[in-house]
Every structure is written in structure tokens, then in C-alpha cells.
Structure 1
Amino acid sequence: MKVKAINNGIRLENEKGSLEITIVNEKWITVHPNGEENKGRHLLLEDGETPADAIKRQWGVDVTKKKGGEEKVEQKEPEKEEVKEETKIDEKEEPKSEEKKSIDDLSSYEVGRTKGGFLAATKETVKYKSGDLSAEVEDFGSDDDAKYRVVLYDGKKIRKINVYSTKSGMEKAVKEHLAGYETKTLEKTNLDEKRETYERIKKEYEDNDRKRWNAKDDKEYRDAWDKAEVAKKELTRARREYAESIMANFEEVDENPYEERQQARKEKYEELSEKAQERSDALGKSASDKFGAIPFGQPIHGQADRNYREKAWAQIGRSIDEQQKAEHYAEKAKSVGKAGISSDDANAIAKLAKKYNYGAIDSAEKRRIIDRVIEIDKRNRMLKESEKSGEKQDYSDLGFDVERNADINRLQLKFSGIPSGEIRTKLKSYGFRWSPRESAWQRQLGSNAEYSFKRLVEELRKKPE
């Protein structure tokens, strides 16, 4: 075997072939910028390079001379921090503006950092806050696959929850949220005129849609189709303008029976919770006193002693049951009024308008609000017309009286006696339910309720064949 020297190594040769072996002579050092007691960082020195040059090349920081056997690293303050300080000063000096502000540096709005979060894989949760707007960002990704769970809050209410696969996308969403959303103000318009326009276009669309399905040939079908499509686009715009006119012209009422009922309901649950807690405390104290009277380690003496102890244990069980009942009613009291905007609320349109005007909601949510506003307005107009006319239809032949109760937003059927099982089944099939408090069969007022009631009356008056 022959051995030859080559650059950076040797070559081994024999009759079967050759093998080159390269000798790598790399120089590594360990730098402790925060002291020897803390973890160091490994650094590769290239040919003819000093440690100071290597640190500057690889990490972009200036290094001082050795002091006390350690490498003391002095980092330059990033320019971002200087900008952040200037931004804070400018925010204090400038007067508050109603215009939408811009957020360049999220770190100035950071209010807390915690380990873990909602997701099991979350490494860290960062919280940001700007006025009533806040955001929570959970980092649950890996080094190769970044993932962020973002929860946006408006006060205590969650506005949006989303997951982002890039840091830039996450930061953009948080910045836009913290900057605030423009809230538009609806201008009052002629409500009757908007309603007439909406109803006219709606009728035009329904007529053309009906002609389309009853067309005798392709030409007639195509003409009706084209007209229906044009009317449909106009209907969407007219429906939006009509709903906005309703919200702009709506005046809130001071006396709101719905809120009074909600408050009474909350107070009732709180009272039940307090009473259950008092019973739990009394039973727990009684059981504790019974066990306290028994000397430590004393065995059971006879049946009387056994009964005494069993009674104490039974009181502990009942105390736990009452404690759970108290917690149950306390949770129910907290949940009162948190289920959203109810159509029973006399100020429902005003609350929906506030939600509609907030720029953060998406188009689908706006369409749902438009539908609800028009339906509530239709119900309110129907009740007013019914009160003005004062006409009452007679349903004595069916054994009940009809009342449209605007205070609780219910269509009520009040029978003189208990209806038969067959009639009760039909009432339930049309959405009516028995209310012991009102002593009536009832369902929520609205166009659906009126249509169901009309069908119910027709079925009850239908003569058997």
C-alpha cells in the first residue's frame, strides 16, 4: 500500500484502488455572554479569524476585550426599540383622534406573557391590549411548521378566533384588530319610501320567478330568468337600504319589560344559589360538630354510636349536594342575558343596529342582522295595525280566545277548559307550547306564528269526511 500526501489530507493506494482521506481542522469556541453560570453558545472560527470578528460576522454584535476570563458581549440596541420609545412619546403628546390609528410595533401593546394556553401543545401565550380591544396569541407550532391561534376580544366579548400558519399573517390580523374598526352612523331616511321600494322589487322578483317555472317554451323561460336575476340584484340592495332605514329611524324605549324579566330571573337564581349555600354550610357545620364530639381513634360502641356516625356522614353528603346546587344556580345567574340579542327585547333593533354598525363583522353576519331587523319590524307593524283596528275574530267555536301579547312577544291561545289530546297534539305540531305562568298555549310572535296559526284554524275547522 502506498501513502501520498495531498491538500488537507492523504491518499491510500493499492492494486484494487485508492482512498482519499480529508483532514478537517475546524476551530470552535464557546462564548458565555451572560456569565459562566448560564448556557454558552458555540462559535466556528474561520481561517485567520479572531473571536471578535467571528461574533460580529455570525451574530452581528460588537465584542469587547476579555474581562475576567469571559467574553463580555455588548449588544447594540435595536433601532426598533428607539422607534418604540418615540412612538410612546408621540402617543402621549398627540390629542386623541377619532380616526383609525395605525400600529407598527406590536411589542408596545404587549401586556403579558404566560406559558401554555388553551391548546395542549401551546408553548407560550402573548396578550396584547389597546383600549377595550385585546388579543391573545398562542404559539403551538414547531420550528419547521409555525402555527398561531389568535383570539380577538372587544371588551370581554370574543370577536373572532382563527389559526394562522405564518407569523406575518398573525401579526397583520392582530394589528388591524388593535387599531380599531370604523363605526359608521346610519342616516335617517324616508322609511315608508324605502319600504314601498323594497316591497315593489320583491313582488317583481317573485312574479318573474313564478313565470320562469310556468314558462311554456325556452324563450319565455329565458326572458323570465333574465328579469328575475336583475330584480334579485336590485332586491338585495333594496333590502339592505330598507333595513338600514329601520335601524336609523328606530327610537329606543325607556321601559323594557324584557330587561325587567331578565333582571328578575337573575335575582331569582342568585337567591336560590344563596339559600342552597346557606343550607350547605349549615349541614357541613352540623356534621363537623358531630365528628368533633367523637374522641380521635375511638371505635364504634353499639348501634346508637353507629347511627350517630352514619347521620354525620349523611349530612356531609347532603352538604355536598347543596353546594353543587348553589354552584349550578350561580352559573345560571351569570348566564342570564348572555345568549345574544333576543327578539323579545323591545330595544332589539337598536342593539342589532349597534352590532351592524361595528365594522368588524363580516358580510354573512350583516345579512343575518338585516333579515332579523326586517322580521322584527314586520311584527311590530302588525301589532300596531291590530291595535288600531280593534277588530277581534271569534274563535269560540274552537273553544279558545286569541291574544297577541306584545309585552312578552307571544301569540297566545287561551282555552276555556283543557283541550282534548288530539287538539293538544295539533297545537304542538304547529309550534305552540303550554305556559303554566300565562295559562295559555303560546309561541313567539312573527310571520311564521301567524302562518302556523292560520293553518291550525283551518285544520281544526275542517269537517271530517
Structure 2
Amino acid sequence: MNRKERQEARANRYRELAEKANKQSNEASKLSHSMVEHIPLGQPILVGHHSERAHRSLLDRSWNTLGKSVKLSEKAEYFEQKAAAAENNDAIYLGDDDAVERLEAKLANLEKKQETMKETNKIIRSKKLSEVEKHDKLIELGYSENGVREAFTPNYMGDIGFPSYSITNNGANIRRVKEQLEKAKRMKVAEDKEYKIGNVRIVENYQENRLQLFFPGKPDEDVRTQLKHNGFRWSRFNGCWQSYLKHWQIERAKEIIGG
């Protein structure tokens, strides 16, 4: 199961939990109503009457059940939000099957953005062009009429155009994506490595960018603590402890297992 499939499975689990909580909330709400539906609307508690104790007890149970319904409704909303977050997670992971293609598309967009920002500043700050010429050139660059108006709107510093830090930050993003892309390309052709230390099977899974540790059984508490402290998490999908595939993680895993 690849990351996208796991992402979809996670979203489905959250949806199921949300539906279950919603169902339980509705059942609790109906039960709360049924507890007091035989009591006339506005009927006060008859203090001193033989019915006083039962009346108070029934109202308390109805109120508590209604409170449970509200909490279950909040729980359903929580899982709905978790499901939506899982579905809308469009981050690019090096272990994704389409990581190279998506990173290439992201790089192309960033480079186009960089060129557009620089050309925009060049046009609107030119002293040789008239306002009409600047307008026409921005339209040729791909701006809409609203976009042209926004380009000439001063920022909080009173300047027009893109500030230098925007261009600098975008340039840094371009360099970062290029590094990711090169690594993704290397990983795509790299062969997985598998070996054992003692009775623990270690897999350097380059296709998923994971370092995977397969123990023959449940590791003792000290080992689990060390694994968690060093960024390893239990994957029930793969049946192993795993982390991102890094050089220092491989060395740390060997220390934990050897120790």
C-alpha cells in the first residue's frame, strides 16, 4: 500500500468514526427526549410530593443523556475535520509514486512565478514607458484588468510591485524544490536494501523513502521508547517500526538494535 492509498484509507476510517459518533449522538438525543416526553410541557417539580424524587432523577438522567449527545456530536465533527485534512493533504513526499512528476510541475510553477515577479517590477518601475504602455505590457504578461490595478496599488510601505523579499523567498523555494527533485530522481532508480542485525530485519526502502525495522515480536519498553524518541513510528500497514530514510537514522537504528 503506497502513501496515497494509506491517506485514502485514513480518511475513510475517520469518516466511519464520524458516522458512528453521529449515529450515537442522534440515538442519545432521541433517548433523552423519550425519557421526559410523557411529562406535560412546563410541569413543575412537585416539592414534597411522592413524585418529587423520581421526577428529579428522570430530569437529571435526561439532561446527562442530552449532554452525551452533544459530546458525541462534537466528536463526529472532530473526525470529519480529520477526514477532510487527510483528503486535502497535497504535500509531496519523496516516497510518492508520482513525486518526480509533481516536483517537476511545482518547480515549473515557481520558476514561472519568479520570472513574472521580476518582469512585473521591471515594467511598472520603468521610467521609459507610459502608463498605457505599462498597462498593455502587463496584459501581455497574463494579467487581468483587476490584476493590473492591484499591481499598481501601493503596499503598506508605499511601494508598488513585488517586494524584494518575495522574490528572494521564492528563489529559496526554487532551490529547495530542485534539491528535492534530484533526490526523488535518485531514489526512484535506487534499489532497496535489506539485511539483518540479530533477529531484526532492516529494510532501506528507497521507493517509499522509509527506513523500516521488522522485529520478530513486540520490542521491550526501553527499545520502543528509544525508537519513538528517535523519530520511529509503528506502522500497522507495514507491520514495522519506520522513519524517514536518512543516513543518521540508519546509524541510530543500528545502535538501538545493537544496544
Percent identity, aligned pairs only? 31
User: Matches of 1:422 and 1:275 in 2, distance apart?
Assistant: 36
Matched, 1:380 2:180: no
User: Matches of 2:26 and 2:172 in 1, distance apart?
Assistant: 50
Matched, 1:269 2:11: no
After TM superposition, the structure 1 = structure 2 runs for residues 374-453 of structure 1, keeping only pairs within 5 Å, are 374-382=182-190, 384=191, 386=192, 392-396=194-198, 399-405=199-205, 408-445=208-245, 448=246, 450-453=247-250
Deviations 1:392-442 (A, max 9, x none): 53422xx31112346754211122244455544543454323345544221
Instruction: Say whether the 8 Å CA contact 1:426–1:456 is kept in structure 2.
Output: no
User: Matches of 1:296 and 1:456 in 2, distance apart?
Assistant: 68
Matched, 1:324 2:132: no
Deviations 1:31-87 (A, max 9, x none): xxxxxxxxxxxxxxxxxxxxxxxxxxxxxxxxxxxxxxxxxxxxxxxxxxxxxxxxx
> What code does the residue aligned with 1:278 have?
K
Instruction: Say whether the 8 Å CA contact 2:187–2:206 is kept in structure 1.
Output: no
1:347 to 94, 98, 112: 98
> What code does the residue aligned with 1:299 have?
P
Tell me the number of residue pairs that the alignment of Structure 1 and Structure 2 aligns.
196
Give the Å deviation of 1:458. 5.6
SS in structure 1 of the partner of residue 113 of structure 2: coil
User: Matches of 2:33 and 2:103 in 1, distance apart?
Assistant: 53
Aligned to 1:333: 83
User: Matches of 1:295 and 1:307 in 2, distance apart?
Assistant: 16
Give the Å deviation of 1:374. 1.8
SS in structure 2 of the partner of residue 412 of structure 1: strand
Instruction: Say whether the 8 Å CA contact 2:201–2:215 is kept in structure 1.
Output: yes
User: Matches of 2:226 and 2:32 in 1, distance apart?
Assistant: 53
Identify if the C-alpha distance between structure 1 residues 459 and 410 changes in structure 2 by more than 3 Å, giving closer, same or farther. closer
After TM superposition, the structure 1 = structure 2 runs for residues 85-124 of structure 1, keeping only pairs within 5 Å, are none
Give the Å deviation of 1:318. 0.6
Aligned to 2:173: 365
> What code does the residue aligned with 2:186 have?
K
User: Matches of 1:311 and 1:418 in 2, distance apart?
Assistant: 44
After TM superposition, the structure 1 = structure 2 runs for residues 21-420 of structure 1, keeping only pairs within 5 Å, are 257-300=2-45, 301-339=51-89, 340-358=91-109, 359-360=112-113, 362-382=170-190, 384=191, 386=192, 392-396=194-198, 399-405=199-205, 408-420=208-220
Identify if the C-alpha distance between structure 1 residues 267 and 421 changes in structure 2 by more than 3 Å, giving closer, same or farther. closer
Instruction: Say whether the 8 Å CA contact 2:32–2:65 is kept in structure 1.
Output: yes
SS in structure 1 of the partner of residue 243 of structure 2: strand
> What code does the residue aligned with 1:346 have?
D
Give the Å deviation of 1:345. 1.9
Instruction: Say whether the 8 Å CA contact 2:227–2:256 is kept in structure 1.
Output: no
More helix by share: 2
User: Matches of 2:31 and 2:16 in 1, distance apart?
Assistant: 23
User: Matches of 1:286 and 1:422 in 2, distance apart?
Assistant: 47
Instruction: Say whether the 8 Å CA contact 2:197–2:257 is kept in structure 1.
Output: no
Give the Å deviation of 1:267. 1.7
> Which structure has the larger Rg?
1
Give the Å deviation of 1:330. 1.0
Instruction: Say whether the 8 Å CA contact 1:430–1:453 is kept in structure 2.
Output: no
> What code does the residue aligned with 2:216 have?
S
Instruction: Say whether the 8 Å CA contact 1:276–1:322 is kept in structure 2.
Output: yes
Identify if the C-alpha distance between structure 1 residues 424 and 317 changes in structure 2 by more than 3 Å, giving closer, same or farther. closer
Identify if the C-alpha distance between structure 1 residues 407 and 279 changes in structure 2 by more than 3 Å, giving closer, same or farther. farther
Deviations 1:156-182 (A, max 9, x none): xxxxxxxxxxxxxxxxxxxxxxxxxxx
> What code does the residue aligned with 2:102 have?
K
Identify if the C-alpha distance between structure 1 residues 407 and 353 changes in structure 2 by more than 3 Å, giving closer, same or farther. closer
Aligned to 1:30: none
Deviations 1:98-142 (A, max 9, x none): xxxxxxxxxxxxxxxxxxxxxxxxxxxxxxxxxxxxxxxxxxxxx
Identify if the C-alpha distance between structure 1 residues 365 and 278 changes in structure 2 by more than 3 Å, giving closer, same or farther. same
- Structure 2 spans left out of the alignment, 5+ residues: 46-50, 115-169
> What code does the residue aligned with 1:333 have?
A
User: Matches of 1:341 and 1:261 in 2, distance apart?
Assistant: 14
Query: Structure 1: which 4+ aligned runs deviate by more than 6 Å?
Result: none
1:457 to 242, 254, 257: 254
SS in structure 2 of the partner of residue 321 of structure 1: helix
> What code does the residue aligned with 2:15 have?
E
SS in structure 2 of the partner of residue 336 of structure 1: helix
SS in structure 2 of the partner of residue 341 of structure 1: coil
